[in-house]
Amino acid sequence: EPIREIMDMFGKEFVSYVANYGYDRVLRILGHNMRDFLNGLDNLHEYMRYTYPRMRPPSFYVEKETPNGLTLHYRSRRRGFVYYVIGQIREVGRRFYDTHVEIEVISQREEFDVTHVVFELTFANTVYPKQAVENEMAELDLSIDCHIFFELFPFHMVISSTLEIVSAGDSLTQLFPNIVGELMRDIFNLVRPIITLNWDQIVLHSNNVFEFSTIEPLRKQANENDLQINDAHARNDSELLLTMTTQRESQEDYLRLRGQMLYVQEWKAIIYLATPVLENLDVMFNTGLFINDLSMHDSSRDLVLAGTQQSAELKLALDQERQKSKALEDSMKKLDVEMKKTDLLLYQMIPKKIADRLRSGEKATNLCEVGNLLIF
């Protein structure tokens, strides 16, 4: 159909368009090959959300990978972009990975406000399988005590097949003392990927980054260091209402976790290796976390402190720009006063009609008129 061809063409041209603005470097470093690129698409959209916070990114995940291609699931809240995506994937394969990709739409359906499309991608998937590498790694028996492992990830969660939290990191248990034994869906909302939160879906989407947000806002009490859920100790509806009206809720009051889901065969469980999403120290304070609650082996601490430093520098730069803008406004006001004085003086010297014509740029010679003088 013509509309499909047009959307396919738009998708190809969009890749060329963003490449001209430097985003080709981001696309190139997503992976060594086409397979790695498709597995990292969700991470790309997470990166883009920092630049475009109002963006409504789609969700991608890979399924049924073979040496001849793979099955790709695409979910989006925006409709009508199926063949636009097809054009983009084909152009990325051609431009960055020198790979010809054939794409077939297997199914397409609407799930509430989300469009769910299944693509069958056919291309030379030369990196699959990696059986030799897997066998080599299996020979390395490097055991580690689980307590040491858990200490390295203070925000981890071990989840059973019923999504019961059977273990949690020290930093999480400080925020939620009774988290062990609770169902994950009773404490957290799944933000990404856009799937149903159950065991099968988590295992299927192990290549995706998982982001969760607490259902209830976390707040630090005014005179205590402990945190509580706003309505955790509310004795009645009136007390809960008072709590809700006297405290302003915002996105900074919710703890957000982002990390990877890994299936551990020996435990018959999934471990969620997460880190908190903290833009600055204000968010950390609102959620009751401290720097030493973050792990030392990654860049979580550095990112929070660097974000605070950048925020202070941006605020200083903004204040300086405001001062310059105010000084410029004052200068413009003084200029208007002087211009009015100049106009008043000009109108006193020559007629206003002629003065206006001169101010509009008309040549003085055009204002001369030939007249005849009669003397009696």
Per-residue pLDDT of the chain (376 residues; tens, 9 = 90+): 788 999 999 999 999 998 888 878 878 877 888 988 888 887 777 767 666 777 788 888 888 888 899 999 998 888 889 999 999 999 999 998 889 999 999 999 987 788 999 999 999 888 776 644 554 555 555 666 777 777 788 888 999 999 999 999 888 888 888 999 999 999 999 988 878 889 988 888 887 889 999 988 875 544 444 444 444 444 444 444 344 434 444 556 788 898 889 888 888 899 999 888 876 666 676 777 776 667 666 656 555 555 544 455 556 677 778 888 888 888 888 888 888 888 778 777 777 777 777 777 777 666 666 665 555 5
3-state secondary structure labels for all residues of the chain: CHHHHHHHHHHHHHHHHHHCCCCHHHHHCCCCCHHHHHHCHHHHHHHHHHHCCCCCCCEEEEEEEECCEEEEEEEECCCCCHHHHHHHHHHHHHHHCCCCCEEEEEEEEEECCEEEEEEEEECCCCCCCCHHHHHHHHCCCCCCCHHHHHHHCCCCEEECCCCEEEEECHHHHHHCCCCCCCEHHHHEEEEECCCCCCHHHHHHCCCCEEEEEECCCEEECCCCCCEEECCCCCCCHHHHHHHHHHCCCCHHHCCEEEEEEEEECCCCEEEEEEEECCCCHHHHHHHCCCHHHCCCCCCHHHHHHHHHHHHHHHHHHHHHHHHHHHHHHHHHHHHHHHHHHHHHHHHHHCCHHHHHHHHCCCCHHHHCCCCCCCCC
Residue 372's pLDDT is: 57
For residue 103, the cross-strand partners are: 121
In degrees and rounded to multiples of 5, residue 24 shows phi and psi of: -65, -30
For residue 231, the cross-strand partners are none
- Residue holding tokens 């430093």? 309
Cα–Cα distance between 319 and 255 in angstroms, integer?
Answer: 31
Q: For tokens 């799944």, name the residue.
A: 190
252 in Cβ contact with 243 (< 8 Å): no
Please choose, from the candidates 277, 280, 278, the residue with its C-alpha nearest in 3D space to the C-alpha of residue 258.
277
Q: What gap in Å lies between CA 308 and CA 279, rounded to an integer?
A: 8
Contact 208, 201 (CB under 8 A): no
pLDDT reported for residue 313:
55
Q: Which two tokens stand for residue 329?
A: 């406004």
Which pTM does this prediction carry? 0.57
